[in-house]
Amino acid sequence: MGYASSGAGRAAHEALLARQDAELRLMETMKRSLQAKMKSDREYALALSAAAAQGQKMDKCEELNGSVIASAWRAMTEEWENISRLIRANAEALESKALDRLTTLMTERRKSRKVYQEDHTKISSQFTQLSEEVQRKQSEYQKCLESYKQMRAKFEENYLKCPTSRGGRKLDETRDKYGKACRRLHRAHNEYVLLLAEATECERALRTAALPTLLDQQRRQGEATATSWKGVLLEVVQRSDFSTDKFREIQTKIETTIQNLRPQDEYKEFIEKYKSPPSTPVTFNFDESLVEDTSGKLQPNQLTVDNLTVEWLKEKLTELENTLQDNREKQSALQGPEIIGNGVCKNNNTGLTNGVNGIDRHSPPPLPVTTSEPIKLLELRVAERKCAKQAEMIRSALAELGCEEAPSGCPDLSAETVGVDSLDGSSPDHQDRSSIGSKASTDVLRLHLHSIIPPKPFFKLFTRPFRRKSAPSSPALPPKTYRSSSEGPADSVSVSETERSLVEQEWFHGVLPREEVVRLLRADGDYLVRETTRNHARQLVLSVCWGQHKHFIVQTTPEGHYRFEGAAFPSVAELIAWQRTSGVPVTARSGALLRRAVPRENWELNNDDVQLLDKIGRGNFGDVYKARLKSTNQEVAVKTCRVALPDEQKRTFLQEGRILKQYQHPNIVRLIGIAVQKQPIMIVMELVPGGSLLTFLRTRASSLSSRSLLAMCRDAAGGMRYLESKNCIHRDLAARNCLVGDDNIVKISDFGMSREEEEYIVSGGMKQIPIKWTAPEALNFGKYTSLCDVWSYGVLMWEIFSKGDTPYAGMSNSRAREKIDTGYRMPAPEGCSEDVYALMLRCWEYEAEKRPHFHQIYTIIDNIYNR
């Protein structure tokens, strides 16, 4: 591996530690994967054994005596049992050998890494000590040199002052100090020289012997680990090989049995045993006694057409023709583009031949005589025959009546006020005929008079664009008509509803994000208007479902009017009203038509209805207020979202509202609605008077009994049990994110990180993750399930019974994470019972599969509470 020669640097050391950590994570991944494989193998072996047993239940069925298929099946299921035993044996061998070896290898690798890090630290500290000692000795040397220079200068000065006597007390003192300074300097010099020699040799020994030896040892241990690891993988390969001799032998037996099966012998014995004549046809006759008392008005096997039945017969005929059309389209898809049904040809330009609305008016098609047709096609042909027979009878009965006039008792169609909507049963109160000219009225009247046998599908095409509901009249302004400010349509359109402000329009959804809008638009023609911000400018957007979701920015003209591609109008409401009623596409390229306005949902509130009172907190996205709903005078809690936040964070903010709106549970904070009509957007929730559970625990610690703490744990478990049943992963369960309501009931809150999935994988990093509350598999691999919430619930229980203490006190996040990986678990809080602490430890199982689910946790807590 080259550690000794090229791995002595700091960067190589850090890389080696990271490599060892990665190897441990890989071993952990392999361990979990092998456990899952063994579990699936056992389950498969059990299921295969059960399948074999199920298949063998037919052994004593006398009706299958002599069946070669049953005999082959019996042999096959017996071999399934043998395969099941082999798979089960391989799974057990995999657990007893490969998995145990891998577990031992992980333990040894952790110890090896720890020893290497400690030894490397010792060597590095020795290098550091040597450098510090040399630096210290050099400093001492420098001080002695300075002292020596001073004493020498003083001695020379005193010596020169007394050139004759060369004596005196002061000169002697100076000479003595000068001598001492010389001795100290020489000693420091020698010590410094000796220390340098010592440091040089020590450094050479550490660099050329100790560190290479340590690195070489790591290389050998790494190779030994890789060798053992290879053995584990080989064991897994061998135990997972379905091409071994034993499996091939079983497969060969099964294939031989099936190949020797003779299909021509399957019914040989059965036919000989149960020879019988063909069955007689079943006839269905009209019971003539039913019409004996009708004075001849009702005849057997004949349809009665009069003012009591004509409308029903016409509706029934239309229904049958539509069914026939759908049936033949399905047959076309099954049989190919050339032939539909039995002998009915398709023409690409004119539809089906000889038909009204593409429906053949002749007698029902004959049933196919071949038995090689697919069953689905045969079923469609049988259904076609039944519908065609009924349609033929109705057409014949109506044709005898005549198609130019309706029978007596039918509605009078002579009035000139007949409109399109009246022809399909709409109430007069909901008809708008102002846009239909005299020619259209004539055509529609003619079509209605001929509707007993409609000549072509013109009726639907003509009436479609004009069908609409007229808007209710405004109480403040009388209904009026308008025309576009440019070359718009000549049709007059009622605009009483357009006089309302944009915010009051039911189809205006404010600043609701695009992702939320897409969820509301489901069918072609669904539309709504929303507001967005681009380059700090407010823009209105029309969102329409038309094949896919399309979004059109409302254009503004220099005159201040609004338009898309065509006519411009003084208000957006008028533009939308005209766009809906005219039947003109929003843009020619898109072809999108407006058919149904999607109103605001009940939980979409008006911002003006929310009166903010007192600021009670601060969240990740903005401030939290106590507020009042003006419409009901109800006090609520309101989370606001800062206006300056990017759209991505606003979508994340609204995610909490989207999740909460569908939940109703006493232990989940209740959503009242969201306000997105204008900025700032708000999430409105019930006001929980007790505030944060964490603050509640810390301020009332002395007054809380063990039973009260148990009740809080039970409340939290009840809420989480409900979320688990909805496949909701909270991901941030902690005392700070729970609220305390009346009677100290605990409610789960703060769903900003929640996801509605059985399994959620984090792919964008692990920022803002509550490390000390998060399960190891989520921290190490970014994998979240409800069992991750179980780990967090264990920490929440610890917070409750410690009455608000901080988990892993005194440890940094990284230190707590390391200790958890090595098996450390927090001790029981003071006064916590053994049963409760045992449940905490179960929640903190390192392997997620070993943790209890919330329905089990709730049962355990409830039993402890009731004791």
Tell me the average pLDDT of the chain.
78
Terminal Cα distance for the chain, rounded: 62
One of 41, 421, 526, 732 is an active-site residue; which one? 732
Q: Is 483's pLDDT higher than 50?
A: no
Domain 604-686 has CATH 3.30.200.20: yes
Q: What is the pLDDT of residue 728?
A: 93
Q: What pLDDT does residue 358 have?
A: 39
* Residue-level pLDDT at 297: 64
Q: Are 680 and 641 in contact (CB under 8 A)?
A: yes
Residue 429: burial class (beta carbons within 10 Å; 0-12, 13-18, 19+): exposed
Residue 617 pairs in a beta bridge with 624
- Interval 361-378 mean pLDDT: 57
Averaged pLDDT for residues 75-83: 86
Is the confidence at residue 351, as pLDDT, over 60? no
DSSP E strands in 229-384: the ranges are: 339-340, 344-347, 351-352, 355-356, 359-360
pLDDT digits (tens, 9 = 90+) for 504-522: 888 988 877 777 788 889 9
Can you give the pLDDT at residue 637? Answer: 93
Q: How many CB atoms are located within 10 Å of the residue 253 CB?
A: 15
Phi, psi for 95 (deg, rounded to 5): -70, -45
CA-based nearest residue to 324, from 374, 395, 398, 372: 395
Residue 721 pLDDT class (50, 70, 90 cuts): very high
| Cα 517 off chain centre by | 17
Given pLDDT bands bounded at 50, 70 and 90, which one contains residue 333? confident
What's residue 542's pLDDT? 94
616: helix, strand or coil: strand
Q: Which of 10-24, 345-359, 560-574, 703-717 has the highest mean pLDDT?
A: 703-717
pLDDT digits (tens, 9 = 90+) for 669-683: 998 888 887 888 899
Share of the chain above pLDDT 70, in %: 78
Least confident interval from 183-192, 209-218, 497-506, 624-633:
497-506
Least confident of 181-190, 278-287, 347-356: 347-356
Q: pLDDT by residue (tens digit) across 759-814?
A: 888 865 556 789 999 999 999 888 899 999 999 999 999 999 999 999 999 899 99
| Range in 190-204, 308-322, 356-370 with the lowest mean pLDDT | 356-370
Q: Is the separation of the CB atoms in 385 and 393 below 8 Å?
A: no
Q: What is the pLDDT of residue 364?
A: 55
Q: Which pLDDT score, from 0 to 100, does residue 791 have?
A: 97
Greater pLDDT, 27 or 335: 27
- DSSP output for 731-798: S--SGGGEEE-GGG-EEE---TT-B-SSSEE--S--TT--GGGS-HHHHHH-EE-HHHHHHHHHHHHH
**Beta strand 596-597 pairing with 568-569:** unpaired
Q: Which two tokens stand for residue 728?
A: 């909701």
Taking 50 as the threshold, does the pLDDT of residue 418 lie above it?
A: no
Greatest pairwise CA separation for the chain in angstroms: 173
pLDDT tens readout for residues 820-836:
999 999 999 998 999 99
- Nearest-Å Rg of the Cα atoms of the chain is 44
CA distance to 65, 372, 655, 662, 776, per residue, from 721 (Å) = 54, 55, 21, 15, 21
Mean pLDDT of 462-479: 31
Q: Which amino acid is at 247?
A: F
Give the span between the Cα atoms of 787 and 782, in whole angstroms. Answer: 13
Mean pLDDT of 225-250: 82
Which span out of 180-194, 484-498, 596-610 was modeled with the highest average pLDDT?
180-194
Sorted by where each begins, the domain ranges of the chain are: 14-239, 303-410+433-467, 481-597, 604-686, 693-866
Give the up-direction half-sphere exposure of residue 802: CA atoms within 13 A in the CB hemisphere.
20
Select from 428, 507, 75, 502 the least CA-distant residue to 251: 75
Cβ neighbours of residue 650 closer than 8 Å, sequence gap 6 or more: 511, 513, 621, 641, 681
- Strand pairing report for 604-605 and 671-675: parallel
**Closest of 714, 650, 648 to residue 857, by C-alpha:** 714
Helices 100-161, 169-205: inter-axial angle, 10-degree rounding: 160
- Each residue of 114-161: pLDDT tens digit? 888 888 888 888 878 888 888 998 999 999 999 999 988 888 888 777
- Tell me how far apart the alpha carbons of residues 727 and 759 are, in angstroms, rounded to a whole number: 9
Task: Quickly list H helices, 56-99.
Answer: 68-93
Rounded to an integer, the average pLDDT of 99-112 is: 87
For residue 829, cis peptide bond before it (omega within 30 degrees of 0): no
Task: List the one residue out of 811, 731, 736, 806 whose CA is nearest residue 774.
Answer: 731
β-pairing, 596-597 vs 526-534, is: parallel
Q: For residue 367, name the pLDDT band (cuts at 50, 70, 90).
A: low
CA distance linking residue 828 with residue 822, whole number of Å: 18
Is-catalytic flag, 241? no
Residues 6+ apart with CB under 8 A from 595: 523, 524, 525, 526, 527, 580
In this predicted structure, the answer to whether residue 488 has a pLDDT above a threshold of 50 is no
User: Which helix (H) or strand (E) is 337 found in, with range?
Assistant: none
The pLDDT, as a whole number, for residue 8 is 63
807: which residues sit within 8 A by CB, 6+ positions away? 772, 773, 795, 798, 799, 816, 826
Annotated binding site: 616-624, 639
pLDDT for 837-865, tens place per residue? 999 999 999 999 999 999 999 999 999 99
Q: Per-residue pLDDT tens for 547-592?
A: 999 999 999 988 889 999 888 999 999 999 999 999 899 998 899 9
Cβ-contact 28, 106 below 8 angstroms: yes
Q: Report helix, strand or coil for 301.
A: coil
Annotated binding-site positions for ATP: 616-624, 639
What pLDDT band is residue 524 in, cutting at 50, 70 and 90?
A: very high
Ranges 406-420, 532-546, 853-867: which has the least confidence? 406-420
User: Is 1.20.1270.60 the CATH classification of the domain at 14-239?
Assistant: yes
- Domain covering 693-866: architecture: Orthogonal Bundle (1.10)
Query: Which tokens sit at 88?
Result: 């089960």
Q: Where is 491: in which H helix or E strand? A: none
Question: Could you tell me which residue, 106 or 345, shows the higher pLDDT?
Answer: 106
DSSP-derived 3-state class of residue 372 = coil
User: Is the Cβ–Cβ distance between 624 and 616 less than 8 Å?
Assistant: yes
Contact 683, 750 (CB under 8 A): no
Report phi then psi at 770, rounded to 5. -70, 90
In sequence order, what DSSP letters do the residues of 417-460 get, joined into one string?
A: T--TGGGGT--GGG---TT--HHHHHHHHHHHHTTTS--STHHH
pLDDT at position 1: 42
What tokens were used for 51? 């399948």
pLDDT single digits (tens) 423-434: 233 333 333 333
pLDDT (0 to 100) of residue 829: 94
784 φ, ψ (degrees, to nearest 5): -115, 135
Least confident of 127-136, 144-153, 175-184, 241-250: 241-250
Strand ranges for 318-383 from DSSP E: 339-340, 344-347, 351-352, 355-356, 359-360
Tell how strand 568-569 and strand 562-563 pair up: antiparallel
Confidence check: pLDDT of 463 > 60: no
**pTM across the whole model:** 0.42
pLDDT digits (tens, 9 = 90+) for 192-226: 889 888 888 887 877 777 778 888 888 888 888 88
CA distance 669 to 687: 9
| Interatomic CA distance for residues 550 and 529, integer angstroms | 12
pLDDT of residue 708: 94
Q: Output 601 or 409, whichever has higher pLDDT.
A: 601
Distances (CA, A) of 150 to 88, 136, 170, 174: 92, 22, 16, 11
Element (H, E) at 488: none
Cα separation of 454 and 446, whole Å? 10
**What is the total residue count of the chain?**
867
Fold of 481-597: SHC Adaptor Protein (3.30.505)
Cβ neighbours for 315, distance < 8 A, ≥ 6 positions apart: none
Q: Are strands 526-534 and 537-546 parallel, antiparallel or unpaired?
A: antiparallel
Q: What is the pLDDT of residues 155-165, one digit of tens each?
A: 888 877 765 54
CA distances, 431 to each of 573, 575, 780 (Å): 21, 21, 65
Cα separation, 219 vs 1, whole angstroms? 6
Q: What is the pLDDT of residues 31-56, one digit of tens each?
A: 888 888 888 888 888 888 888 888 77
Pairing relationship of beta strands 351-352 and 344-347 according to DSSP bridges = antiparallel
